[in-house]
Amino acid sequence: MAAWVLAVGDEVVGWVALSNVSLGPFRSANLGYWVDARHVGRGLATAAVREACRAADELLGLHRVEAGTLLVNLASQRVLAKCDFAPIGTAPEYLHIDGQWRDHVIFQRILNDRAPL
């Protein structure tokens, strides 16, 4: 796992992480992130996702990054679209959130076309 804290001054206002990093022929990871509601709309999530993708490509040598959002989370879907992620499908009952299994839209970003090292 690779994770970064988002801060404004001394205040933690968000987080971004690459988890389930898989090397070999797959060379992929899952992306997760959040930004405190008081700091939404300032471009923090977009900048953090771009930086995580840069690190996934340049530092980890990954080929792709995958992310999922709740169907109703249009703001997060816009962040992913701005960062060149494309929707690849819907995953029914993907994560257990607020006491219920929730459907998610799954996105991916292909980072490069290099062959695995």
pLDDT tens digit string along 63-82? 999 999 999 999 999 999 99
What is the pLDDT averaged over residues 4-15? 94
Domain 2-110 sits in which CATH superfamily? Gcn5-related N-acetyltransferase (GNAT) (3.40.630.30)
Q: What is the pTM of this model?
A: 0.93
Residue 35: C-alpha distances to residues 13, 42, 61, 77, 84 (Å): 6, 10, 26, 14, 19
